[in-house]
Chain A
Amino acid sequence: MDDLHIIELYWQRDESAIKESRTKYGGYCRAIANNILHSAEDSEECVSDTWFRAWNTMPPEKPNRLAVFFGRITRNLAIDRYRRGRSQKYGGGQAALCLDELGECIGETVPIEDKLALRELVNGFLYTLPDKNRSIFLLRYWYMMPINEIAKRNNISQGAVKMILRRVREKLRAYLEKEGAGV
């Protein structure tokens, strides 16, 4: 079923919207949750919660990209769950590694209070990146995909992925420092 039709089902309050969402995007969302939690059971719960969160959001939302819309909900739910359980339970997932890596981009001396301003900065920064580097950065920190999977997806070595990620993180750190955020 096409995305437009699935969105229409949500707007019509038709419960088959959830079945259609699960059929088309269940695997996709499960992959995102599993990247973060590395737990099939908890990932499945996140995916189930995704449809109900979407149900409560559409209407009024009318996503342009339904996959990203669902993926973002799943990501947020999985990160929330990760934070509640922390690394004791989810040590095998990518969340802890991603957090450590992102720690290189931003200092902890001055707490960030304006998340919206930071979002605008990060958005602006990502638009300046070459497509390939931006894609690899977001595969890692949006999807929290393992390095080896990013390498296979892009037909490059794991070492090349790590190098690109390190350079982008360094650029981001310099950019945020220049803008006075989180130094």
Chain B
Amino acid sequence: MKNKDILLDVIGDVDEDLVPDLTEKNKKSGIAKLAALGGVCAAAVIGCVLLLPRGTEHSALPPSDGLSAPSAPSVPSAPTADENAYCLALADYPEIPSYPDETDRDAMMKWSSAVKALRDQPKGYKDGFDTFFANSTRTFLTDAGGENVVYSPLSLYMALGISAEISGGNTRQQILDALCQSDIDTLRANSKAVWQANYMDDGMAKCVLATSLWINDSLDCNADTIASAADNYYSSVYRGDPSDDNYNAAMQNWMNSAADGLLSDYVRNIKMDPEMVLTLASTVNYSGKWREQFDKELTKQGIFRSPQGEIRCEFMNTQTNTSYFWGERFGSVSMQLENNGEMRLILPDEGVSPEELINDDELLAYLTNTGDYANSKFVTVDLSLPKFDVSSDIDLKDGLNRLGITDIFDPTAADLTPLCDDLDGISLSKAEQDTRVLIDEEGCRAASLTVMQYNGAAMPEDYIDLVFDRPFIFEIMSETGLPLFVGIVNSPD
């Protein structure tokens, strides 16, 4: 070996203190050094299923009228005594210690072991989810029509899982096919594993999939079916008179508590139909802190070019050294959240709409990829991102029909005998998902309520200016690599 080769090796072995840190912020003129603390990112979903006997008027769950101008997140309401009064079974969540002082080695080990125990799930538990995600995302996001739309595949997955649990025959098979699960036992095992692998509530980060079943106490539901649904999906079970205002208030309390109040404007409109057999609420409540917080002093007013015209809004700005990802028709960066996954921000190329891009196979491959996407490069990015608070309510019925789930909506075809074998003509009368995601300098919050009522392509330069001043797509991916939320921002407010 030549001396110059040896010198090259020796330079690689110098004291590590000497080596410049590429992951530090550059001290570029006009760019202030960012605070070291993280921020907050939150999201939530609520979904409901209402099963009604044949012939019942479907007026129980009025459409949301408050989400177009959502209020600030309210303080979560604690479960009330009324709520407990109707409770048959309360979901028993695993315990995770509060996130410890990182210098406390023993506490760190205890926290780490608790998280590891939940993350360790049998191989293959996510099988089929990618296909379900791709199919359903295409279905529910394609028709945004220039509006904001947010969808939580994980919330729908859980709600459909319970729907499969309470159905039989071809009704169940259609659901299993849409979820890409071979049989009900596989679905049960996978759903439980997905739940556990994604559960996090340690004071630093939150990702909780909560479900509850609200039963009509005048009807005889199969106790074994209810127990199985509760056990495999960590559901709480309540029983009461759906015409009783207190019972309705108890359900609203549960929803507000499960979504940390993020969807309170929607929840206040939810009321059970007096004739309902069962209402299912499924929520995903997510919040986390940005690993690298945006500096509030750098937030500036700017113009966002929405399909409805130009909008003035606040843009957060930062410079970061990170991986940049790209496809034939989009560019993307990922913002990491402390111990709680990441938010991917995808900017379609000029002239390409998010609705058009969401059908792009390359984009869907990127959205389901967890670390080895080929088109990536470590670069310095000057990122300009509007603060946003977006929400949407999706009527899932047409989309579920397109995914092949039809029988459950048809009173003459729905097989719900596992739930209630002596009542004919029960069907799913309404399936709805309401989701809200908001981000600011500190992070992101999101909530989603699924209500189902049974009634560019070239290698980038080393420096990139990425300005999200036109409609874009985002995805919140969990720590275990499952897409929790995906949405299109056509208007940041």
The answer to whether the Cβ of B228 comes within 8 Å of any Cβ in the partner chain is no
Cα separation A5 to B52 with both chains bound (whole Å): 50
Most central of B22, B116, B377, B380 by chain A CB within 10 Å: B22
The segment from A52-60, A106-114, A157-165 found at the interface with B is A106-114
Q: Are A64 and B16 in contact (CB under 8 A)?
A: yes
CB within 8 Å for A152 and B3 given contacts A1-B339, A118-B10: no
Q: Are A115 and B6 in contact (CB under 8 A)?
A: yes
The answer to whether the Cβ of B269 comes within 8 Å of any Cβ in the partner chain is no
- Between-chain CB contacts (< 8 Å), 15 pairs: A5-B108, A19-B370, A19-B371, A44-B372, A67-B23, A72-B12, A72-B16, A108-B4, A111-B3, A122-B11, A126-B15, A126-B18, A139-B20, A152-B463, A153-B26
Q: Are B339 and A102 in contact (CB under 8 A)?
A: no
Cα separation A134 to B12 with both chains bound (whole Å): 14
The distance from the CB of B144 to the nearest CB of chain A, in whole angstroms, is 29
The answer to whether the Cβ of A155 comes within 8 Å of any Cβ in the partner chain is yes
Instruction: Bin the interface of chain B by size.
Output: 35 or more
Cα separation A135 to B376 with both chains bound (whole Å): 26
Q: Are B378 and A102 in contact (CB under 8 A)?
A: no
B interface residues with partner A (beta carbon < 8 Å): 2-23, 26, 28-29, 102, 108-109, 112-113, 116, 119, 321-323, 336, 338-339, 342, 370-372, 374, 376-378, 380, 462-463
The distance from the CB of A160 to the nearest CB of chain B, in whole angstroms, is 16
| A contact residues around B119 at 8 Å (CB) | 16
| B contact residues around A2 at 8 Å (CB) | 102, 338
With CB as the reference atom, state the residue of chain B lying closest to A63. Answer: B16
With CB as the reference atom, state the residue of chain A lying closest to B462. Answer: A149
The distance from the CB of A58 to the nearest CB of chain B, in whole angstroms, is 15
Q: Chain A 65-108 against B: per-residue CB contact (8 Å), 1 yes, 0 no? A: 10111011001100100010000000000010011001101111
With CB as the reference atom, state the residue of chain B lying closest to A108. Answer: B3
Q: Are B380 and A79 in contact (CB under 8 A)?
A: no
Q: Chain A 121-164 against B: per-residue CB contact (8 Å), 1 yes, 0 no? A: 01100110000001100110111001011001101000000000
Q: Are A106 and B13 in contact (CB under 8 A)?
A: no
A interface residues with partner B (beta carbon < 8 Å): 1-2, 4-5, 8-9, 12, 14, 16, 19, 22-24, 26-28, 30-31, 34, 40, 44, 63-65, 67-69, 71-72, 75-76, 79, 83, 95, 98-99, 102-103, 105-108, 111-112, 115, 118-119, 122-123, 126-127, 134-135, 138-139, 141-143, 146, 148-149, 152-153, 155, 182
Choose one: A16, A107, A143, A146; the contact of B3 (CB below 8 Å). A107
Most central of A63, A111, A112 by chain B CB within 10 Å: A112
Cα separation A72 to B20 with both chains bound (whole Å): 12
| A contact residues around B26 at 8 Å (CB) | 153
| B interface SS class | mixed
Cα separation A105 to B3 with both chains bound (whole Å): 10
| B contact residues around A142 at 8 Å (CB) | 11-12, 14, 19-20
Q: Are B21 and A67 in contact (CB under 8 A)?
A: yes
| A contact residues around B12 at 8 Å (CB) | 72, 75-76, 79, 142
Cα separation A65 to B11 with both chains bound (whole Å): 17
The distance from the CB of A36 to the nearest CB of chain B, in whole angstroms, is 10
With CB as the reference atom, state the residue of chain A lying closest to B19. Answer: A68
Cα separation A75 to B22 with both chains bound (whole Å): 14
Cα separation A118 to B53 with both chains bound (whole Å): 85
Q: Are B378 and A30 in contact (CB under 8 A)?
A: yes
Q: Are B16 and A65 in contact (CB under 8 A)?
A: yes
Cα separation A24 to B3 with both chains bound (whole Å): 35
| A contact residues around B15 at 8 Å (CB) | 123, 126
Choose one: A27, A68, A102; the contact of B376 (CB below 8 Å). A27
With CB as the reference atom, state the residue of chain B lying closest to A19. Answer: B371
Choose one: B4, B13, B18, B102; the contact of A134 (CB below 8 Å). B18
Q: Are B8 and A182 in contact (CB under 8 A)?
A: no
The distance from the CB of B253 to the nearest CB of chain A, in whole angstroms, is 35
